[in-house]
Structure 1
Amino acid sequence: MPHFPVNHPARPFYRALSGLVGLYILIFGVWGTALTWGDPLFGRNGNWALGLRTNLAFSLASIAFGIVLIIGASRRTNLGHYMNLTAGAVFLVTSILMMSVLQTDANFLNFSMSTVIVSMLFGLILLGTGLYDKIGPHEDAEAERNRRNHPVAEIHRR
């Protein structure tokens, strides 16, 4: 069973970081939607927003993801923990899949290599914030700390 740190002291920083990622994605989506409005949904023109190539479908998906990430970052529950873990995995998988079809007609989200890199970076950030923003009762946090500082664990760390 994996053990995520519970009530990590840097949790507010991680929540703010995931909120900033969500805000960037939301602004990118709104900007991209304004630029690509009227174009085909999966168009492959040269529209760029905030340094990333986009089309209407990718911009609309970015708006949805940005809102979801901001909601997750604003909640003081484990909802943000699970949202960040899930969104991090989605961003990483999407960036790898889109990189594999970058120069083909299957590039339906109109990704460029810079979009792949930013998506991977955001995926790693969200995955990292998801690993450290779990909350729980004080007893669970204390039990997790004791499990990490158990003498047997000390022997295995050396």
Structure 2
Amino acid sequence: MARKTAAGTPALALLAAAGVAVTTHTYEAPGVAAYGTEAADALGLDHARVFKTLVAEVDGKPVLAMVPVSGQLDLKALAAARGGKRAVMANVAVAERLTGSVAGGISPLGSRQRLPVVVDESALGFATIFCSAGKRGLQMELAPADLVTTAGATTAAVAG
């Protein structure tokens, strides 16, 4: 079910305040482990168009990385994109504490702590992309350029 919304999560409130057009899509979230592919399948979407938000650390500093749910994060590419030497995935507890969201519901916008965001450049090939709106079972659809601008993100080839 798609609907336009003004708020509901910190991510959606931030987009509304910025005047960004966004459509939300709700779905049943079984929450097994592959949250992104669950969202894509439940909404009948191409996996390349649905992006997962991952929390990593580059040289000990947290960063959010967005890659298609069909792929994985290339940690070496992420480190290079951030001008660092080494990147590692943050553990789930750290990710949830930094963002204020549960795994499977982490959004690139509206985190408890503002974190740098790197979006895989493949996003720019779509008119709109999907990503978590800040909770499981809620995806937001928006133009990738709007996401990049609102998040103050950079784009780079970080999907493996």
- TM-score interval (norm. to shorter): under 0.3
The structure carrying a bigger helix percent of its residues is 1
Higher strand proportion (structure 1 or 2): 2
Larger radius of gyration: 1
> TM-score of the superposition, structure 2-length normalised?
0.27
